Amino acid sequence: MIVSWITLKTTAMRWEAELMQQVLASHDIPARVISLGVGSYMGVGGPAKLQVPSEHLWTALLLLSPVDEEPEEAQ
């Protein structure tokens, strides 16, 4: 079976992509991090992209999306 990987997010720092990969792994969603260039000198890594299989795209997007907060009531 051929798996089609979709880029979910591109980050400036590799650690961001790795953190999102860990969140997805905790929900049993496979993900991979692809480096996009030479790492920086400070040890934080260079740009990277996070990919998920196409069948997990929408679930991954929901898990990594910002939480919508309810507007506070005026008092």
Q: What are 5-21's pLDDT values in tens digits?
A: 999 999 998 999 999 99
pLDDT at 72: 72
pLDDT at 74: 59
Q: CA-to-CA distance for 20 and 42, rounded, in angstroms?
A: 21
- By residue count, the chain amounts to 75
Kindly tell me if the per-residue pLDDT of 2 is higher than 90.
no
Question: Which architecture does CATH list for 5-62?
Answer: 2-Layer Sandwich (3.30)
Q: Which residues pair with 53 in a beta bridge?
A: 5
Q: What are 37-53's pLDDT values in tens digits?
A: 766 555 667 899 999 99
pLDDT at 37: 78
Helices 57-64 and 14-25, interaxial angle, to 10°? 110
